[in-house]
Amino acid sequence: MLGRSSGALNGERAGRAAGLHWRPNPSTGFSMSFNLAKLPQDQRQAQEDEKGRLFEFWQLNNERAKGEASRIWSEKDKRKSKWQDWATEQIDALNPPEYQSLVKRELARMG
């Protein structure tokens, strides 16, 4: 069973009781997904509201994050071995944390 121990199977059974399900994932073997239908309506709605908020944030800030990531990336040759520390400082100074994540993701795509 793709190297899964009986402990993993027991965890899987416990997870199902909590509304978690295992599904095949070609790259890792298995991944977990949540069955939102088993959550109370208010929790499902809160998750949907958060997804909507994050999607709207992404739409409004994605281009700006790409520009910021490009600015940071463009300093790589100039700063050489000190670039990583400098880039980390630049990212840490960004707010809110969701924006930091957007910039980090863009930098990862560039690298």
What pLDDT does 19 receive?
Answer: 54
Backbone dihedral angles phi then psi of residue 21, each to the nearest 5 degrees: -135, 145
Q: Give the model's pLDDT for residue 63.
A: 98
Query: What number of CA atoms fall less than 13 Å from residue 28's CA on the CB side?
Result: 6
In tens digits, the chain (111 residues) has pLDDT values of: 344 444 444 445 545 545 555 566 566 565 556 687 888 999 999 999 999 999 999 999 999 999 999 999 999 999 999 999 999 999 999 999 999 999 999 999 998
Longest dimension (CA), the chain: 55
Residue 93 DSSP label: T
Indicate the DSSP class of residue 24: E
**Virtual torsion, Cα 106, 64, 90, 87, nearest 10 deg:** 30
